[in-house]
Structure 1
Amino acid sequence: MSHRAPSIAPSTTSSRTLRRHHRGSRSHTGGSTYRPQNEFPNFAQTGDVEIVIAAEGQERRYILHRLILSQCSGFFEASTSEEWSRQNGAGLGRIGEDGADDLPVHTGSSRVSSAQKAGDGRIRWRYELDWQDDEDIPMLVRKPLQPPSLFGSSSSHSPQPPPPPPSKPTSFLRNMTHNFSNTTVQTASSYHPQLPSHSSTQPVTTADSETLQDYDNLLRIFYNHPPTLHPSNIAEAYIQCKTLLQLADMYDALPIIGPRIDHHLLQFQGRLWKQIAKYPPSYLKLGYLARSKVIFAEALVHVVGSWPSGRGQLVRGGVAPQVLEVVEDKVDELAERRMLVEARLFRITLTTTKGDRVTPQNAYVDWLALSLFRSWLIDNIGGVPTIIPSSANSGSGNQTPSAANSSSSTLYRKMGQAGSAYLAHDECKKFLRLSRPEDHGRETLKRFERKLDEIKAMAREAVRPLMKHNLELDAGGGGLGYLTCTKVEEEDYPWD
């Protein structure tokens, strides 16, 4: 058996050596807590962009990749470009180990300064959050890299501030912030991601702390990590999603952030539809920024149906002109549809067995039934329409009646129902006695009501286009007080 010893011992020794070497290679960070060295948010081995976000004594530091950031954000794509660097006099980390030579930093370089390194990574771009203007949303600005000191430590930042990075104006976003805050339900506390979502003792966080979380969510989504958004409180989730979309708009990253927001909010289902019904202008803007067809369409139906009640809020909130254009087009379409329906209602008539239109001479009782319906229609609809649009002359928004008249909406719903929703038995009986007191027998009343039922059936068919319910909200439109028949087509979404 001795011949087996040489073959077993080396194998055992080798495997143990490999295991010890593997265990030893995992503890370069020091301390008792193991921290991955090349994972989000600290890609110390491969990252080339440093982002520092500090507020109220808190600081979050990220070592990320220019390639991913520029693919997700137009801001990073522009501000890390060589053209932008040349125009603004910003070097791309051209500082050698001795602080004197002009060695470009790249993957194959063997000489990298301590100022350019974070762990084993090679930093070529550095950004910090700028809090100089209290009225503006804090924005990342590019900073020059820190030259190393004689002892290898980083010196202070250059006192000369860099030029402002290329970004969109923030005045529009500030207006949106105020408008969104004024139109959403106010909550007593903010969601804290370190506490369970069901905790009833969640601490109130400041706006600056929330900014840290907003930026963290932005960068997490860039790396395909789920954002920290409230999973059960839709009011809190809405506020978080709104501010996250504002950041995405600032950094030209809406196509990346929008789908995440859409996915998170749609999980609320029924509660989401109810919130949209309460705050349709706010959700219309959110749906537009998130590129959410479902949220945008749901809010648009509410806004158009209740128009012009939401116009002021949309205008004050600085809604995109193309969104307002879609709303106004849909308002005109709905007004035109209402006018067509009303014209059809006033054209309702009865005929005799010979096909002649009823008159007091050939069918007096039938004519009375038609007269009662038309009189009721004029009293409730506000008069006979004087302009009947045609296919050749449509969309005349200044000629059509208001598309947001709650009393008219109630009227249409009454006519859309069968039975005695309007002009019931007692009204018929009273009218017939007043109009023909010498003949108000049972047979006359039955004929009168039978003819009125025929008229109601024609009216029900005439208003059918207005009775469509194009909402996800399971309310049938009955309790909303306005029409919900607006149909949102693919070409109505105001984004590319």
Structure 2
Amino acid sequence: MVSYPDDPSHPPPRALNLRPVRAPSSIASSVSTSARRHHHRHASGRSHSGGGGGGGGASTAVTTATARLANEFPCFHLTGDVEVVVSSGRKEMRYVLHRLILAQCSGFFEAGMSEEWSRVREGGSGSGAEARRWRYELDWGNGDEDVPMLVQKPSPSIFGAAEPTTRPPPLRPKPPPPSSSGGFFRNMANITSLNLGNREPEEQDDPADDVLRTYDNLFRVFYNYPPNLSTANIADAYVECKSLLHAADMYDALSVIGPRVDHHLLRFQSRLWKQIAKYPPSYLKLAYLARSRAIFSEALIHVVGQWPAALPQLRNQVPQRVLDLIEDKVFELDDTKARVEAKLWRITLTTSRGERVSPANAWLDWLMISLWRQWFAENTTPPPVGILKSPNAGGVNSRRAPAPGVLNTGLVFRKIGVGGPAYLNHDAVKRFLKLTPEAYSRDNLRRAERRLEEIKNMARDAVQPLMRNFLELEIRGAVEQGGGLGYLTCTRVEEGDWPWEE
């Protein structure tokens, strides 16, 4: 795992070309040894040339500074052994990197530059991968359905003799993700084009530039540099992070890229939680790739609360174990709701003698119980569908009965959890009693409101298991007003629930 460049203990460089790369310990010694040998070789040559002291010192300083600047990201000319060229036809980005770092961060490069694959290419007579030089170029394919991919190309002259073009298979093949039907970068370009739709024509970028930026961010993270991702617009950051994660998935580098994306998005704090509430399925898919517990948990709570609304956006887009987790959480939520509803239907009042109220012993109290149950039934069960047909059914003027609307049961439970005037307020009780003129009086109204308040208090206690909010999104103020989200957010994501740890 690589460390974050913006960690306080490792402040980011002021300029990209003035920062020495923090190579892994496995190659740090070999890199420094190579640089020392190079410096010694040039220093010896200068001493034997017989140059003057002043001129020789200046020449040595210039040569040393040039060598230092020429051996940093993105081109390590002195120690790099892998050349990567990413070109869109209009722009070209060139990197000279290290095989050991690429193999450490990416299973794709580890397999493609392994000794096993080297022997296969050389017919078993090669000296192994350690003595080789490598070159990769971005191949855009032949059509819209082809996914742009880095392929091995003949080595450039500065690296030695040319080698045949080849695209090695991974040593650890893995099935493609469910959504990889081809043309990923083409799809990302389309998304970016939509995201830039409100900009002026001269401000819009070439979609191919987004591909180049994705590869640049990929290699920057490999070398512990912060990726160039939007820090001002979370919608732009989402698109850029999604593109970077899919590229990392293609090159088997999610373990390195995922934490960097997670770290970047969490910087948005409250803006991130609000954005997840708007697009929970999209962020659930992104969080799964990034292995982000915070984002995955937040998105999952929204998805479960609204299920099955998100099913069309998740089917064939996430592994089956993610859908299984969602269905398990939905079952747990439905089970909790069923237990709470059973308690609510059993709520009743008793007389001063401890008897359950009835029309015979406490008619007004029984009316309040009936009023509360009627309100609860109307708000938690769909209305009945009429079975009678109009006289001209089937004719040109016939009308189909409207389909029952989706019940907002989450909002109903929240109103019960708030209690007080959030539902069945003073005016509602007054209108109800006036339906029976002989029962309406100021004393009866006050007594009816007191007894109804007792029922509301018992109901509020019963729904507490559904009132817990495990979101990072702050919704308390809206809930206290009887509003807020129209679904429940009491789903808890615990250890052992993360689908990427199975």
- Normalising by structure 1, we get a TM-score of 0.75
SS at match of 1:492: coil
What is the identity, as a one-letter code, of the residue corresponding to 1:355? G
For the residues of structure 1 that align with 2:440 and 2:135, how far apart are their CA atoms?
92
Identity across matched positions, percent: 51
Q: In terms of mean alpha carbon deviation, does 305-314 or 419-428 score higher?
A: 419-428
Secondary structure in structure 2 of the residue aligned to 1:25: helix
Matched residue, 1:187? 195
Aligned to 2:419, the other structure's residue is in SS state coil
The alpha-carbon deviation at position 424 of structure 1 amounts to 2.2
Show structure 1 runs of 5+ residues with no match: 1-12, 30-34, 95-102, 107-121, 192-199, 385-403
Alignment-derived partner of residue 310 in structure 1: 310
Q: d(CA) in 2 for partners of 1:270 and 1:129?
A: 38
Q: Check 1:461–1:244 CA distance in 2 against 1; reply closer, same or farther (3 A cut).
A: same
2:32 aligns to what?
none
Q: How does 1:68-467 map to 2 (within 5 A)?
A: 68-89=101-122, 124-134=133-143, 135-145=145-155, 158=164, 161-164=166-169, 168=174, 172-174=178-180, 186-188=194-196, 203-316=203-316, 318-382=317-381, 406-435=407-436, 437-467=437-467
The runs of 5 or more residues in structure 2 that have no matched partner are: 1-50, 384-404
CA offsets 1:318-370 (integer angstroms, 9 cap, x no match): 11222212111111111111111111100111122333222223322222221
Displacement after TM superposition at 1:383 (Å): 7.6
Q: CA separation in 1, counterparts of 2:83 and 2:364?
A: 87
Whichever residue aligns with residue 78 of structure 2, its letter is Q
Are 1:26 and 2:36 counterparts?
no
Which moves more between the two structures, 443-452 or 160-169?
A: 160-169
C-alpha distance in 2 between matches for 1:251 and 1:485: 37
For the residue of structure 1 that corresponds to 2:136, the secondary structure is strand
Query: Which whole-Å deviations, capped at 9, do the CAs of 1:395-437 have from their partners, x for residues lacking one?
Result: xxxxxxxxx96521221122122322222223323333435x4
What is the rounded CA distance, in whole Å, between the counterparts of 2:111 and 2:410 in structure 1? 52
Task: Give 1:453 shift.
Answer: 0.6
Change (3 A) 1:336 1:156: same
The code of the aligned residue for 1:139 comes to M
Mapped contact 1:190–1:204 kept (Cα < 8 A): no
Q: Which range moved further: 122-131 or 165-174?
A: 165-174
CA contact (8 A) 2:189 2:207 kept: no
Shift of 1:218: 0.4
- Of the candidates 481, 486, 491, which is equivalent to residue 491 of structure 2? 486
SS of the aligned residue for 1:491 comes to: coil
Query: Could you say if the C-alpha distance between residues 46 and 425 of structure 1 is closer, same or farther in structure 2, counting changes exceeding 3 Å?
Result: same
Amino acid paired to 2:62: G
**How many angstroms does 1:208 deviate by?**
2.1
Report if aligned partners of 2:411, 2:485 keep a CA contact under 8 Å in 1: no
Letter in 1 for 2:237: A
The alpha-carbon distance between structure 1 residues 443 and 251, as it changes in their structure 2 partners (threshold 3 A), is same
* Aligned: 1:37 with 2:70: yes
For residue 335 of structure 2, give the secondary structure of its aligned residue in structure 1. Answer: helix
Change (3 A) 1:406 1:69: farther
Give 1:454 deviation, angstroms: 0.2
2:500 alignment partner, SS class: coil
Distance (whole Å) between structure 1 residues aligned to residue 149 and residue 198 of structure 2: 22
- Rate the CA distance shift 1:154–1:21 in 2: closer, same or farther, 3 A: closer
Closer, same or farther in 2 for the Cα pair 1:163/1:75, shift >3 Å? closer
Q: Matches of residues 53-64 of structure 1 in structure 2 within 5 Å? A: 53-64=86-97
Shift of residue 268, structure 1, vs aligned partner = 1.4
Deviation at 1:270, TM superposition (A): 2.0
Distance 1:187 1:460 in 2: 45
Give me the whole-angstrom Cα distance separating, in 1, the residues matched to 2:160 and 2:113.
Answer: 22
Write the distance in 1 (CA, Å) between the matches of 2:55 and 2:146.
58
TM-score normalised over the length of structure 2: 0.75
Give deviations 1:25-84, integer Å, cap 9, x for gaps: 23657xxxxx71221111122222222222213222222112111111111112221222
| Cα displacement (A) at 1:156 | 6.9
Q: 2: distance between equivalents of 1:212 and 1:407?
A: 46
Partner of 2:491, secondary structure, is coil
Given residue 380 of structure 1, which amino acid in structure 2 is its aligned partner?
Answer: N
Deviations 1:248-283 (Å, cap 9, x if unpaired)?
111111111011111111111222122111111101
Amino acid at match of 1:367: W
Q: Secondary structure at the match of 1:488?
A: coil
Structure 1 distance, partners of 2:202, 2:65, is: 35
CA contact (8 A) 1:53 1:129 kept: yes
- Number of aligned residue pairs: 421
Match status 1:46 vs 2:79: yes
Q: Is the 8 A contact 1:142 1:165 kept in 2?
A: no
Distance in 2 (CA, whole Å) between partners of 1:405 and 1:47 is: 61
Taking the aligned partners of 1:83 and 1:418, their CA distance within structure 2 comes to: 70
- For the 8 Å contact 1:469–1:484, the answer to whether it is kept is yes
Cα 1:263–1:28 change in 2 (3 A) is closer
Q: 1:90 to 1:372 in 2, by over 3 A?
A: farther
The amino acid across from 1:488 in the alignment is V
The verdict on how the C-alpha distance between 1:130 and 1:362 changes in structure 2, with shifts beyond 3 A counting, is same
Distance 1:91 1:207, change over 3 A: farther
CA contact (8 A) 1:366 1:451 kept: yes
Q: Write the letter of the residue equivalent to 1:373.
A: W
Match of 2:18 in 1: none
Residues 90 and 144 in structure 1, CA contact (< 8 A), matched pair in contact too: no
Distance 1:383 1:277, change over 3 A: closer
Q: Is the 8 A contact 2:138 2:150 kept in 1?
A: yes
- Distance in 1 (alpha carbons) for counterparts of 2:325 and 2:368: 42
